[in-house]
Amino acid sequence: MSAESPAIPAAEHSDLHDRPATGETILEVADLVKHFPIRGGIAKRQVGSVKAVDGISFDLKAGETLGLVGESGCGKSTTGRSIIRLLDPTSGSVKFKGHEMATLPRRQVRDFRREVQIVFQDPYASLNPRLTVRNIVGEPMKIFTDLSTKARRERVSDLLARVGLSPEHGNRFPHEFSGGQRQRIGIARALALNPQMLVLDEPVSALDVSIQAQVVNLLAELQDEFGLAYLFIAHDLSVIRHICDRVAVMYLGKIVEIGERKQIFRNPTHPYTQALLSAVPVPDPRKRGARKRIVLTGDVPSPANPPSGCRFRTRCWKAEDKCAAEEPLLEPRGFDHPSACHFAEADPVLEGTVPDR
Amino acid sequence: MTEPILSIRDLVTEFATPDGTVHAVDHVSYDVYPGETLGVVGESGSGKSVTVMSVLGLIPQPPGKISNGEILFEGRDLLRLSNAQLRKVRGKDIGMVFQDPMTSLNPVLKVGHQIAEAMQVHADVPDDKARLRTIELLELVGVPNAEARYDQYPHEYSGGMRQRGMIAMAIANEPKLLIADEPTTALDVTIQAQVLEVLSKAKEETNAATILITHDLGLIAEMADRVVVMYGGRVVETGDVDTIFHEPRHPYTLGLISSLPRLDQDLERLVPIEGQPPSLINLPSGCAFHPRCHLGQGRERCRTESPPLVEVGTAHRSACHFTDEMGREIALIESEMGTAIEGVDQ
Ligand SMILES: Nc1ncnc2c1ncn2[C@@H]1O[C@H](COP(=O)(O)OP(=O)(O)OP(=O)(O)O)[C@@H](O)[C@H]1O
Ligand SMILES: Nc1ncnc2c1ncn2[C@@H]1O[C@H](COP(=O)(O)OP(=O)(O)O)[C@@H](O)[C@H]1O
Ligand code: SF4
Ligand code: SF4
Ligand SMILES: [Mg+2]
Ligand SMILES: [Mg+2]
């Protein structure tokens, strides 16, 4: 298996299938919104909406990993699913290699689906329990290509070997595998069509640490080998730091800060990012108390009814009147990366722990 | 050294299942001293919870069976107490906090009521006093509007708040020992930070010894004084927290550390443990870790002889035949990770 000789013939040539050069922007998301209706009353009329994703923008380059991090319910999965069109966005634009998804002809939507694949968090729920591993991994090829049965078989064996499983594993069913192995199966399936981009929705969150490290290393190798772009969704900032080139921090349906890994971890400017970095336990007892402690009060408000102005203001220790009145936009504000805080200021929360290289 | 408040000796707990006997806890011994926080770490299925469930008398029998050992709490063997006697210890001298608060909070009773009742079961406290004390406790654990919250049901609390409610209940009778089994695993990090602060405060208030069970080495590093590392139903290493993180003498402990992505530094590479955790029905022969052990390299002794947990330093024990080779092993892993483990400056 190699990136230069993709085993998958394109049914028809489409520039969506052209391998991009590293560094070329392949995904552009602008003002993406996804609201879920809340229905109530006897008539089941819409009485409100969950503003799961409420106007986010970012782009992703070929070969790059962008981390999407934030706490439960902030809209990470909804973002990922809206991008690959598992959900219909309420509004906004998603462009893949310059093509606007909302207006893409049906045939090209198929092309897009081949190029952008997803791996889910829950290795138990995301694999069809009635199919053998061979059929699970081979299914996308059956749907999207006219490869012969023999060619598919060979490719499945290659893929299984590549993710660290043996060909004999192909004849078994998902329930016979551990969580880490199932995640490898999900990754093999996602790679089957030789895609350009993967949406990885918490691919290692359910795994024990030793297995998590195996899968993290595997993902890094595959990225190098195939020049994949990753949208890596996680709530674990340590994993994000290890794997991502750039990081977007989400809170209640918005991106509050985005930047290169170093910018986010060394010089966070948004209070929420700072609070997150101060809250994650560091596995070194000698660094106890070396960090500034920011303990937020209260819980995350409901996305059905987000606070006015800055959504973080109900938990922010710096909030002032302006924060309730005016929504802070995601802008540079004099720093090297944008922040959605009226009073953004650099605070190297992690200083005092070992500096990075 | 002072006497331990809890002493688990040679505990064996098994479960009969259709596939065979699950050896969930296999001759486990560890001590907990007054006032300390003992961290118990290990991957899922390593027997962490079953050990403390055995302490609490909460093993369903059958299918479970405690077939060996002693659990000395203040000198008394809990395994010899009647259920009625055990109930007096549980919830009074020993408080509990679990991962899922819904397993210990009754969904149809008001939270305040449950806490008050937990007090009244164990002592003769009049209703009005119990109510006042409960509100105090809810305030202590940071439940906002404690008075109004007293009369709410668990489902009206958020996840973090329920966890606080459970901590309030656990410390209501000023226990001498607090057992917290993955108390923050289901919570977001900012909420986890709040709950940990509450746990520390509760501990200060009661000076209870605490067993903190978690799979998160970060939590252990932040909270624990001493550490027990479990693998395959056995204790493989124990020591003080600094020793465990900086001078591990068991390859499994080292593997956990080298698997961890770090918030505080860039690593060249994670160095995972190969393979998968063992089946507790069919534990590997000899050292249960041998099929995954980089140091063992399948050596005869590892495959045939179960290594006993022996002293390898001051208050430091490890169950490995080749602990004397650990220095070299650490150096090797350090070079792969691109960071130092041993001998980091204080
Ligand atoms: N199909 C749906 N109908 C209604 N609300 C939904 C739906 N899917 C998601 N939501 C809501 O949208 C918000 C964002 O959900 P999402 O799953 O994107 O969060 P997340 O950031 O992925 O969280 P987690 O870390 O828990 O996976 C939540 O409030 C969620 O309850
Ligand atoms: N009621 C039960 N019946 C059968 N097996 C059980 C039961 N409770 C626990 N076990 C098994 O005991 C082993 C240890 O479990 P546990 O102590 O819960 O692990 P952990 O270290 O994750 O807390 C596991 O293999 C688990 O499946
Ligand atoms: S805009 Fe105001 S409330 Fe929002 S993060 Fe900044 S200071 Fe806090
Ligand atoms: S006894 Fe052998 S297999 Fe077990 S941990 Fe030590 S070196 Fe590894
Ligand atoms: Mg999600
Ligand atoms: Mg457990």
Q: Of the candidates A276, A279, A356, which has its C-beta nearest B266's C-beta? A: A356
DSSP H helical ranges for B250-344: 251-259, 300-304, 326-337
Q: Are residues B104 and B30 in the same domain?
A: yes
Tokens at A179, concatenated: 């969580």
B221 touches chain A (CB under 8 A): yes
Name residue, tokens 């203040």: B74
Residue B274 lies in a domain: yes
Q: Is the pLDDT of residue B162 over 50?
A: yes
pLDDT of residue A57: 98
Mean pLDDT calculated for residue range A132-155? 92
* Mean pLDDT of all residues belonging to chain A: 90
Residue B345 lies in a domain: no
pLDDT category, A17, cuts 50, 70, 90? confident
Name residue, tokens 């006042």: B132
Q: Is there an atom of ligand 1 within 6 Å of A248 CB?
A: no
Q: Are residues B213 and B303 in the same domain?
A: no
Residue B230 lies in a domain: no
Q: Are residues B267 and B120 in the same domain?
A: no
B-chain residues within 8 Å CB-CB of A210?
43, 255-256, 259, 272-273, 277
Q: Are residues B194 and B293 in the same domain?
A: no
pLDDT of residue A352: 66
pLDDT of residue A10: 53
Please tell me the residue having the least CA distance from ligand 1 atom 10.
Answer: A52
Name which residue leads in pLDDT, B101 or B206: B206
pLDDT category, A19, cuts 50, 70, 90? confident
pLDDT of residue A108: 87
Q: Are residues B328 and B212 in the same domain?
A: no
Q: Is the pLDDT of residue B104 over 80?
A: no
Mean pLDDT calculated for residue range B86-94? 91
Q: Is there an atom of ligand 4 within 6 Å of B231 CB?
A: no
Lowest mean pLDDT across A51-55, A189-193, B81-85, B139-143: B139-143
Sign of CA dihedral A164, A167, A172, A174: positive
Q: Are residues B202 and B301 in the same domain?
A: no
Q: Which of B207, B239, B217 shows the shortest CA–CA distance to B312? A: B239
ipTM confidence score: 0.89
A-chain residue closest to B145, CA distance = A298
Residue B241 lies in a domain: no
Q: How many domains does chain B have?
A: 2
Report helix angle A179-191 to A149-162, nearest 10.
130
Q: Which residues contact B137 (CB under 8 A, 6 or more apart)?
A: B115, B168, B171, B172
Residue B74 lies in a domain: yes
Domain at B72, CATH number? 3.40.50.300
Q: Is the pLDDT of residue B345 over 60?
A: no
Nearest listed ligand to the Cα of residue A325: 3
Mean pLDDT calculated for residue range A257-266? 96
Interface test with chain A among B158, B270, B280, B339, by most A beta carbons within 10 Å: B270
pLDDT of residue A167: 84
Ligand 4 centre and the CA of A287: distance in Å?
A: 30
Cα gap A247→A147, rounded to integer Å: 38
Q: Is the pLDDT of residue A157 over 50?
A: yes
Q: Do B263 and A350 touch (CB under 8 A)?
A: yes
Tokens at A32, concatenated: 């993406």
Q: Is there an atom of ligand 3 within 6 Å of A251 CB?
A: no
pLDDT of residue A262: 94
Q: Are residues B288 and B168 in the same domain?
A: no
Q: Do A276 and B189 touch (CB under 8 A)?
A: yes
Q: Is there an atom of ligand 3 within 6 Å of A275 CB?
A: no
Q: Which domain holds residue B270?
A: 247-337
Q: With a CB-CB cutoff of 8 Å, which residues 135-194 of chain A face chain B? A: 178, 180-181
Q: With a CB-CB cutoff of 8 Å, which residues 47-76 of chain A face chain B? A: 71-72
Lowest mean pLDDT across A54-68, A169-183, B45-59: A169-183
A-chain residues within 8 Å CB-CB of B197?
295
Name residue, tokens 């006093």: B129
Q: Are strands B226-231 and B209-214 parallel, antiparallel or unpaired?
A: unpaired
Mean pLDDT calculated for residue range B142-154? 90
**What is the distance in angstroms between the Cα of B88 and the nearest Cα belonging to chain A?**
35
The three state secondary structure string of A83-132 is HCCCCCCCEEEEEECCEEHHHCCHHHHHHHHHHEEEECCCCCCCCCCCCC
pLDDT of residue A47: 87
pLDDT of residue A357: 40
pLDDT of residue B344: 52
Q: Is the pLDDT of residue A146 over 70?
A: yes
Q: With a CB-CB cutoff of 8 Å, which residues 31-90 of chain B face chain A? A: 43-44
Q: Are residues B57 and B140 in the same domain?
A: yes
Nearest listed ligand to the Cα of residue B44: 2
Ligand 3 centre and the CA of B333: distance in Å?
A: 43
Name which residue leads in pLDDT, A353 or B30: B30
Mean pLDDT calculated for residue range A284-291? 89
**What is the distance in angstroms between the Cα of B239 and the nearest Cα belonging to chain A?**
13
pLDDT category, A353, cuts 50, 70, 90? low
Residue B346 lies in a domain: no
Q: Do A238 and B216 touch (CB under 8 A)?
A: no
pLDDT of residue A4: 41
Q: Do A210 and B255 touch (CB under 8 A)?
A: yes
Q: Are residues B296 and B149 in the same domain?
A: no
Residue B68 lies in a domain: yes
Tens-digit pLDDT profile for residues A315-332: 999 999 999 999 999 999
Interface test with chain B among A210, A241, A263, by most B beta carbons within 10 Å: A210
B266 touches chain A (CB under 8 A): yes
Q: Are residues B172 and B263 in the same domain?
A: no
Q: Do A238 and B267 touch (CB under 8 A)?
A: no
Residue B217 lies in a domain: yes
Q: Do B215 and A237 touch (CB under 8 A)?
A: no
Mean pLDDT calculated for residue range B98-122? 88
Q: Which residues contact A201 (CB under 8 A, 6 or more apart)?
A: A76, A77, A80, A81, A118, A119, A120, A121, A233
pLDDT category, B1, cuts 50, 70, 90? low
**What is the distance in angstroms between the Cα of A217 and the nearest Cα belonging to chain B?**
7
pLDDT of residue A80: 96
Q: Are residues B252 and B219 in the same domain?
A: no
Q: Which of A37, A27, A55, A28 shows the shortest CA–CA distance to A251? A: A55
Q: Are residues B51 and B188 in the same domain?
A: yes
Q: Of the candidates B161, B259, B339, which has its C-beta nearest A209's C-beta? A: B259
Tokens at B99, concatenated: 């991962």
Inter-residue contact A191 to A8 (CB < 8 Å): no
Cα–Cα separations (whole angstroms), residue A345 to A57, A271, A326, B191, B263: 22, 8, 18, 24, 21
Tens-digit pLDDT profile for residues B26-55: 999 999 999 999 999 998 899 999 999 999
A-chain residues within 8 Å CB-CB of B262?
238, 241-242, 282-283
CB pairs under 8 A between A and B: 145
pLDDT of residue A41: 78
Mean pLDDT calculated for residue range B116-138? 93
Tens-digit pLDDT profile for residues B229-283: 999 999 999 999 999 999 999 999 999 999 999 998 889 999 999 998 998 999 9
